[in-house]
Amino acid sequence: MGMDKADEYPFDLGTYTRPVTTPSAECQAWFDRGLVWSYAFNHEEAAECFRRAIAHDGTCAMAYWGLAYCIGPNYNKPWAFFDADELARVVRQGHDAALQAQAHLGAVTPVERALVAAVLSRYPQPTPDADCEPWNVAFAHAMQAVHAQFPDDLDVITVYVDAVMNLHPWDMWQLKTGEPTPGAQTLEMKTILDGALGLSDTAAASATSVAVGAPPRGGAQHPGLLHLYIHLLEMSPHPEHGLPAADNLRTLVPDAGHLLHMPSHLDILTGAYAAAAEANTRAAAADERYLAHAGPLNFYTLYRSHDYHFLVYAALFSAQSALALDACRRLEASLPAALLRIPSPPMADRLEAFLALRPHVLVRFGRWHDILALPTMPDPPSAPGHANPDENKNETEHEEDASLLCVTNATRLYAKALAHAALGHPSRARATQRLFLAARARVPASRTLFKKNGPRPPR
């Protein structure tokens, strides 16, 4: 991105603002964008915005704080998911940014001073330890103290709850019992979020202006709070209790694809499949605008792929085959070979399994001849006369590489075995099953996306 003027930014991120200590309107605008992108889990774009804020005002402590906050671990990417090179780079940059924030405290507000002090606990040194998880614990404890001092500040609440949830990502509830996970502070975080979301009705109506350092008003319109609330409740016994928050978030940040997508986490759990499809249709459109702007060589591609995947999932539940196949086509077209071949971070391990969605869609709708038209390596015995419609062509730019596309290849062989069985060709089905088992055995242990007990995709 070039250094355009602040008002030329191509994305509509809504109206949320947190006034910070800076004389520069441009710095303030870029800070707000960085904060909203952080809440929208587009951390690379957030970091770029905070760097632009620093370029406009190199003395803005909160711009350095934002940079340190957004580049670290998050609910979808704990420290364990960073490879060695990325971990060293992030820890060094985070530590440097935290020190720069401390060096520019000057006349900042008390809450800014407290936030800056807390973020250094996330990067206490410029090089990583063998286990960085204790830093997350230290950061959560530091934010607990900040929250105790500023309990009505919505951004403090967001960062505090985020820090606590990062100690137990995707493990705030016990799925078999519906009880909170012991030690996860689940109910405490829910109480805090419930209170914050209830702040808006009277506070927002009475607020006529917002001074620097004053708690931002309007909890029910706060993108970070709403995002975290959905994540907190989606694995609870009552995900439907989060639907009012989901409805508030649906159009709150028009160009933040992940936030447009988030309500569908609850839609799908409550049987609102059409709403889930609509949410992810909007999210995919926003994601494609960002793709045109930033290209695919970034971590947000995982989030974009997840939104396509969720659109496919909603379409399968609502019996919309055309919508599901179109989402597959768009997903395939967005994952070029150059992206999958990036070694650090290992993008094939993180992304390639998304390319295996098409055979699942075709199985769901009984498109047996279309399945047999899919290329595989090796190609199993085929039935004569099956169709090869254009919609089943893999539209990615990369060649059909059995090593690069190992999950996709194995999944296609699985689908072909089912197709042969469904079409009454048992010998071909058994032969293809053997090819599937051999292909599955060639999938490396590092290819963990969608693997049982493996890391989850961003959500």
- Backbone region of residue 17 per phi and psi (left: phi > 0; alpha: psi in -120 to 50; beta: other values): beta
Can you tell me the distance from the alpha carbon of 77 to that of 73, in angstroms, rounded to the nearest whole number?
Answer: 6
First-last CA distance in the chain? 26
pLDDT tens digits, residue range 252-310? Answer: 999 999 999 999 999 999 999 999 999 999 999 999 999 999 999 888 999 999 999 99
pLDDT tens digits, residue range 343-373? Answer: 888 899 999 999 999 999 999 999 999 999 9
β-strand partners of 77: 74
**pLDDT at res. 1:** 40
- Ranges of each domain in the chain: 8-173, 256-316, 335-459
**pLDDT at res. 456:** 55
pLDDT tens digits, residue range 121-164? Answer: 999 999 999 999 999 999 999 999 999 999 999 999 999 999 99
Report the residue count for the chain.
459
pTM of the model: 0.88
**pLDDT at res. 135:** 98
Picking from 202, 258, 280, 354, the residue whose alpha carbon sits closest to that of residue 42 is: 258
Whether residue 18 contacts residue 32, with contact meaning beta carbons closer than 8 Å, is answered with yes
- pLDDT reading at 165 higher than 50: yes
pLDDT averaged over every residue in the chain: 90
Give the burial class of 274: count Cβ atoms within 10 A of its Cβ; 0-12 exposed, 13-18 middle, 19 or more buried: middle
Q: Which stretch of DSSP H or E encloses residue 156?
A: helix 154-165
pLDDT tens digits, residue range 317-333? Answer: 999 999 999 999 999 99
Query: In CATH terms, is domain 8-173 a member of 1.25.40?
Result: yes
Whether residue 135 contacts residue 122, with contact meaning beta carbons closer than 8 Å, is answered with yes
Query: By three-state DSSP, how is residue 74 classified?
Result: strand
Residue 247: CA count within 13 A, CB half-sphere: 6
Whether residue 77 contacts residue 165, with contact meaning beta carbons closer than 8 Å, is answered with no
